[in-house]
Amino acid sequence: MELTDSVWEIIKTNSNVLDGKVWYGVKSTKIFCKPSCPSRIPNKSNVLLFTNPDDPVKCGFRPCKRCQPINEVVSDEIWVAEINHILENYYDQNLTLAELAILAHGSISHLRHVYQSKTGISPSEKLMQIRMDKARILLLNSNRSISNIGNDVGIPNNSYFIKIFKKIYGITPHQYRAKRPN
Ligand SMILES: [Zn+2]
């Protein structure tokens, strides 16, 4: 089904006239919703339409916790997987907890609580782990400068980037790079 102006209008206005007939997935978050979902309006270019709720699932989308598009309660485990997917996609941006909560279709306090209780770490700690892991890979496999790499992984403040890197790996990014085999 094509994303026509009239369908897009229905999604934008959270109308329920297509509920049960159409589902939409957001490519950047891999979450799918009913047209009436009150979550933030996604970027139109990121939206895919489905006329069978099995299709988004087959394409790797997960149901939205808020509108429960297949009328099943979304488990905390699935929600944590959704949050991780978003972190993996947005790590290079200045992602606040509030922004993450909007993208993951939940409240900030609930998100923090569920994530911490299921994984033992906070969403911010997980984000930092992802950033440091990406930085490590760039240090080993690219010739980008340390400050560019910090920026690439969402930490434009270079001294902060170096400090966090050292805290996690015990050595500075320079030292880490110097260890790579030539
Ligand atoms: Zn939704």
Confidence of residue 116 (pLDDT cuts 50, 70, 90): very high
Query: How far, in Å, is the centroid of ligand 1 from the Cα of 105?
Result: 7
Convert the pLDDT of each residue in 128-163 to its tens digit.
Answer: 999 999 999 999 999 999 999 999 999 999 999 999
State how many domains the chain has: 2
**Integer Cα distance of 44 and 65 in angstroms:** 21
Q: Is 59 a catalytic residue?
A: no
Nearest to 49 by CA among 15, 4, 12: 4
Residue-range definition of the domain harbouring residue 3: 1-74
Q: Are residues 57 and 114 in the same domain?
A: no
Query: How far, in Å, is the centroid of ligand 1 from the Cα of 103?
Result: 10
CATH number of residue 97's parent domain: 1.10.10.60
Convert the pLDDT of each residue in 7-33 to its tens digit.
Answer: 999 999 999 999 999 999 999 899 999
Q: Are residues 68 and 82 in the same domain?
A: no
**Integer Cα distance of 50 and 31 in angstroms:** 12
Query: How far, in Å, is the centroid of ligand 1 from the Cα of 138?
Result: 35
Q: Are residues 96 and 69 in the same domain?
A: no
Report angle CA 10, 109, 114 to the nearest 5 degrees.
95
Spatial neighbors of 15 by CB under 8 A, at least 6 apart, are 9, 35, 36
